């Protein structure tokens, strides 16, 4: 039986594993401040293979690996053999034959990391697959939420996930993980961006829920995943769903966004520079969370 632990979706982690990753993340963040991070992945080799563009997830994983002393090899997919017709299976087997300690993969198709995990003898980390899952993003969002509440109780905290939820792997992973952590989730989107999730509260407008939430997670409209134009224009979407200073006023909320932000479509300039908006804190926490994930998966697999 293959006991190798992969991270293809948040469901791969039990709640106690999630808590352990978050505790470790907190320690990494504190250790970073006093310059005392141990290089626990020294001499380990990690391969990143991104079949789809990435703004920050790839660099975040690479920085995380290097902070722990690991070496990173990044495959340039445009030059790799997959574009010459090699099957995914063959690409995976070839990477595996080089005996890396972990492989980080992003792909435009849902399910690819899971499939690869069947053929690979080191941990596979999903850095985003289609509209399916983005587990490290959900873990860093959860960490940022916990930090905001001073690592106290977050069960029952109310979060609105706003935007193109249907096409968002970030939303999927957050719904799974935050739901399991006991957060009270409301989905806010126009009908064509709303997934079929009968068990969750839904709203087709932002205003009615603003007084009902502690956290707003705004998402980017996933234009590249739309098969046909679904909203008349991004401007029309922004008119109804952009998180603006005018709408939020002085409410006490935490504002999150996974990036990349469409300025003045998802969130307006004023809210982006407002201290309640923690987009850059999310990016900073992302490195510490990924250090924690890499360390756990690699060291557990070699124990
Ligand atoms: C997201 C992604 O690529 O899934 N970005 C990220 O990883 N931080 C979200 C997006 O592209 O909108």
Q: Is the CB of 113 under 6 A from ligand 1?
A: no
Residue 16: which domain range? 10-131+283-301
Cβ of 279 below 6 Å from ligand 1: no
Task: Decide: 217 in ligand 1 pocket, CB within 6 A.
Answer: no
Q: What is the pTM of this model?
A: 0.95
The span from the CA of 250 to the CA of 227, in Å, is: 38
Please, which pLDDT band fits residue 232 given cuts at 50, 70 and 90? low
- For residues 150 and 249, state if they share a domain: yes
**3-state SS assignment for residue 215:** strand
172 lines ligand 1 (CB under 6 A): no
Same domain? For 48 and 125 the reply is: yes
260 CA → ligand 1 middle, Å = 6
When divided into structural domains, the chain yields a total of 2
By CB atoms closer than 10 A (0-12, 13-18, 19+), residue 244 is middle
pLDDT for 82 equals: 64
Answer whether residue 231 shows pLDDT above 60: no
Question: What was the pLDDT predicted at 1?
Answer: 39
Cβ–Cβ < 8 Å for 56, 283:
yes
In the beta sheet, which residues pair with residue 103?
47, 124
CATH number of domain containing 78: 3.40.50.1370
User: Would you say residue 281 has pLDDT above 90?
Assistant: yes
Angle at 109 between CA 17 and CA 237, to 5 degrees: 90
pLDDT of residue 78: 65
Convert the pLDDT of each residue in 83-100 to its tens digit: 666 788 888 889 999 999
Cα–Cα distance for residue pair 283/278, rounded to 1 Å: 9
* CB of 125 closer than 8 Å to CB of 61: yes
Query: Does 251 fall in a domain?
Result: yes
Q: Is the CB of 134 under 6 A from ligand 1?
A: yes
Q: What is the pLDDT of residues 108-121, one digit of tens each?
A: 999 999 999 998 99
**Axis crossing angle, helix 135-148 with helix 169-180, rounded to the nearest 10:** 50
Q: Is residue 200 part of a domain?
A: yes
Q: Is residue 173 situated within a structural domain? A: yes
Whether pLDDT at 219 is above 90: yes
At residue 2, the pLDDT reads: 44
Q: Are residues 26 and 161 in the same domain?
A: no
pLDDT score of 86? 74
Closest C-alpha residue for ligand 1 atom 7: 57
Tell me the mean pLDDT in the region 18-45: 96
Cα-to-centroid distance, 144 and ligand 1 (Å): 16
Q: Is the pLDDT of residue 63 over 70?
A: yes
Prior bond to 240 cis, omega within 30? no
Q: Identify the band that residue 140 occupies on the pLDDT scale cut at 50, 70 and 90.
A: very high
């Amino acid at each position: 039986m293959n006991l190798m632990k992969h991270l293809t979706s948040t469901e791969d982690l039990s709640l106690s594993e999630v808590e352990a990753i978050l505790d470790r993340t907190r320690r990494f963040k504190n250790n970073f401040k006093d310059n005392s991070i141990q290089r626990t992945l020294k001499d380990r080799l990690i391969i990143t293979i991104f079949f789809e563009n990435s703004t920050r997830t790839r660099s975040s994983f690479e920085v995380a690996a290097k902070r722990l002393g690991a070496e990173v090899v990044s495959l340039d997919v445009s030059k790799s053999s997959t574009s010459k017709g090699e099957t995914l299976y063959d690409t995976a087997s070839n990477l595996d034959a080089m005996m890396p300690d972990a492989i980080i993969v992003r792909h435009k198709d849902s399910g690819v990391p899971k499939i690869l995990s069947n053929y690979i003898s080191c941990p596979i980390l999903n850095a985003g697959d289609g509209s399916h899952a983005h587990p490290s993003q959900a873990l860093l969002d959860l960490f940022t939420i916990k930090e905001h509440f001073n690592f106290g109780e977050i069960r029952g905290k109310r979060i609105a996930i706003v935007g193109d939820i249907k096409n968002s792997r970030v939303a999927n992973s957050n719904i799974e993980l935050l739901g399991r952590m006991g957060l009270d989730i409301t989905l806010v989107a126009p009908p064509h961006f709303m997934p079929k999730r009968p068990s969750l509260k839904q709203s087709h407008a932002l205003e009615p829920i603003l007084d009902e939430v502690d956290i707003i997670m705004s998402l980017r409209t996933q234009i590249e995943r739309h098969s046909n134009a679904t909203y008349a224009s991004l401007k029309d979407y922004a008119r109804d769903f952009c998180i603006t200073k005018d709408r939020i006023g002085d409410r006490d909320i935490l504002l999150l966004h996974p990036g990349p932000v469409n300025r003045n479509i998802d969130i307006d300039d004023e809210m982006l520079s407002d201290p309640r908006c923690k987009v850059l804190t999310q990016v900073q926490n992302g490195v510490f969370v990924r250090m924690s994930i890499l360390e756990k998966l690699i060291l557990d697999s070699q124990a």
